[in-house]
Amino acid sequence: MKDPVPGAYALARGAIEAGVSLVTGYPGVPTTAVVNKILALSSPDEVQVEWTSNEKVAIEMAFGASLGGMRSLLCVKSVGLNVALDPLMALNLSGCNAGLVILVGDDPGGWGSQNEQDSRTLALAAEIPLLEPTSVSDARAAVRQAFQLSEETGLPIIVRVTRALVLAQEVELAEEEIQAALPSSFQREFMRWVVLPINVVPRHLHLLQRLDAVQARFEDSPFNGVEGYGSRGVIAAGFAYQKLLNLLGGTVPPGLRVLRLGTFHPLPGWDSAAQQVQELLVSEPGRNHPS
């Protein structure tokens, strides 16, 4: 049996397997651990890693690389996403070319941050999709899926993780050699890459249409699921699912229905599943839930 590996390793493996070319960001708990793993698992010829002076510069570098046909990963902590928000609120309208993934590390409990910011609200404000892995193995798959989804939709994708997931350990799955298809080179689209008043409204309508398409895909996402049967239900959001499963001894007991949620925005429609229970509890790694 292989030794268990931390979530930081799984996230790094997912990015490398997805063919990331540029990793950029600003140091901060808990995402620095992921960048360190990428450095350990790759060479400078394979992945270029750049720490920048601030998160605004970092996201602009990642966006520029995406336009040029390089898959890019921005790694920031929760409060760092605030600094990157100004460019993000425009590039969500212009979209991207090669896959652009934003790995955001939130810190419930404030173990290494100045607040307990919930970055999911910023994904809502920016109107871009957000995934949140429910386990270490899902973390690896979620990063790969995020790059694929980014290129299919032309949107940056947020992958939100918490300190608990980055530090958690799980027996690693078998190594995979994935031949990622090369993204297209720079596309000269004059009115797309620069957002001006003349095209703000059409681009915003196009963004909303793409979000509708993403929501339809999330309905059947492997990162969501329903386990067990019963009149009492729990929506386990993100890594709270793994914590709940650990408390239950690894299996869902009779009489309980667990709805595992790994896609936060747009939310999948779970009306039918929710209507099958009489009581419903939401468990999520948010504020005042130490990680």
2 CB-near residues (< 8 Å, 6+ apart)? 171, 172
* Pair of tokens at residue 136: 């270490």
pLDDT for 176: 63
Dmax over Cα atoms in the chain, in whole Å?
59
pLDDT for 82: 96
77 contacts 254 by C-beta, under 8 angstroms: no
Would you list the DSSP string of 182-219?
A: PPP-----TTTSS--HHHHHHHHHHHHHHHHHHHHHHT
Q: CA 132 to CA 11: how far, in whole Å?
A: 12
* Pair of tokens at residue 271: 């009306």
| Least confident span in 159-168, 179-188, 264-273 | 179-188
Model confidence at 32, in pLDDT bands (50, 70, 90)? very high
* Pair of tokens at residue 270: 């779970």
Model confidence at 269, in pLDDT bands (50, 70, 90)? confident
- Identify the bridge partners of residue 4 per DSSP, sorted by sequence position: 171
Q: CA 133 to CA 141: how far, in whole Å?
A: 8
Higher local confidence (pLDDT), 289 or 26:
26
* Pair of tokens at residue 74: 């921005």
Task: Locate the domains of the chain by residue range.
Answer: 4-218, 225-283
Tell me what percent of the residues of the chain surpass a pLDDT of 90.
74
Q: Is the dihedral of CA 193, 152, 138, 136 positive or negative?
A: negative
pLDDT for 83: 97
pLDDT for 278: 86
The answer, yes or no, to whether residue 86 has pLDDT greater than 60, is yes
1 contacts 54 by C-beta, under 8 angstroms: no
56 contacts 84 by C-beta, under 8 angstroms: yes
The mean of the pLDDT values for the chain is 90
**What is the pairing mode between strands 22-25 and 48-51?**
parallel
The answer, yes or no, to whether residue 177 has pLDDT greater than 80, is no
Which CATH code is given to the segment(s) 4-218?
A: 3.40.50.970
Q: Which H helix or E strand runs over 22?
A: strand 22-25
* Other C-beta atoms lying within 10 Å of the C-beta of residue 288: 8
What mean pLDDT comes out for the span 6-30?
A: 95
pLDDT for 224: 94
160 contacts 134 by C-beta, under 8 angstroms: no
